[in-house]
Amino acid sequence: MNWYYVDQGQQTGPVSDAQFEELVRSGKVQPDTLIWREGMAAWVPYREAGNSSNPSGPTPPGSAGSVVGESPEAVCAECGKMFAIQDMIRHGGVYICANCKPVFMQKLAEGARINTNELNYAGFWVRFAAKFVDGLILGLPFMVVFFLMLVPQAHSGTPNQFNFLPLIFQFGFIFIQMAYEIIFLGKYGATPGKMLCKLRVVTADGGRIGYGRATGRFFSEMLSGMVCYIGYIIVAFDRQKRALHDYICNTRVIYK
């Protein structure tokens, strides 16, 4: 006959009859230690197992059959002790014993409160996607205008004159980019790309950033683009998923 018992919250065994008797004699198995052997319907304290632990009086197969399929006991996620499942509450994948239920509920309530206060920071790839969309929105029309204006000019050919047009375009593009970023972030907290990705730029405590901070953020972001975009890449490693410009302006990018 194989015996199982709970030692410091851990199921232990199997042990033989002789070993089990030795465990009882040495005090390792106490009257309130949960024990189980084949044929028993559930884990019971040793003191209650007196009759059924007698090998000459096996439990009727029917009682064991009623709990077959799922193990009738589980370890309490709170105290680590083993109890019959019908005496426990289930939460997600874990079981909690009756004794620990109040403590567990308290923890759960606190956890839920913390979760709602916590901002849901947006990670690297979704922010990358938002940037990409903004890039398309800004870049595509500009490219079209650029080619429509410059290509015919190149063919007309004025070799002795320095052509300022590309330079004007370059600055014009930066200016439009700046206006786009500052107006959308200042007014709505999100550029169209960020809106599409359901993102929002907020202050550290979740408030509106306003035009001032949006302006600061635009210029700080220029730094993030320097040195292999390292200022952007750190988003992937930061606890609050901050880019360099988020650090400088104390902003966060969150899911709405």
Residues that bind Zn ion (CB under 5 A): 76, 78-79, 97, 100
CB of 26 to Zn ion, least distance (A): 26
Residue 108 or 222 having the CB closest to Zn ion = 108
Residue 74 or 254 having the CB closest to Zn ion = 74
The angle subtended at Cα 166 by Cα 161 and Cα 168, nearest 5°, is: 100
94 membership: H or E segment, kind and range: strand 94-97
CB of 80 to Zn ion, least distance (A): 7
Residue 66 or 106 having the CB closest to Zn ion = 106
Q: Is 9 left (phi over 0), alpha (psi -120 to 50) or beta?
A: left
CB of 79 to Zn ion, least distance (A): 3
Residue 98 or 179 having the CB closest to Zn ion = 98
CB of 9 to Zn ion, least distance (A): 9
DSSP track, 124-156: HHHHHHHHHHHHHHHHHHHHHHHHHHHHHHHHH
How many CB atoms neighbour CB 41 within 10 A? 18
Residue 97 or 122 having the CB closest to Zn ion = 97
Q: State the helix-helix crossing angle for 165-188 and 210-233, rounded to 10 degrees.
A: 110
CB of 10 to Zn ion, least distance (A): 14
| 128 contact partners, CB below 8 Å, separation of at least 6 | 232
DSSP class of residue 68 equals T
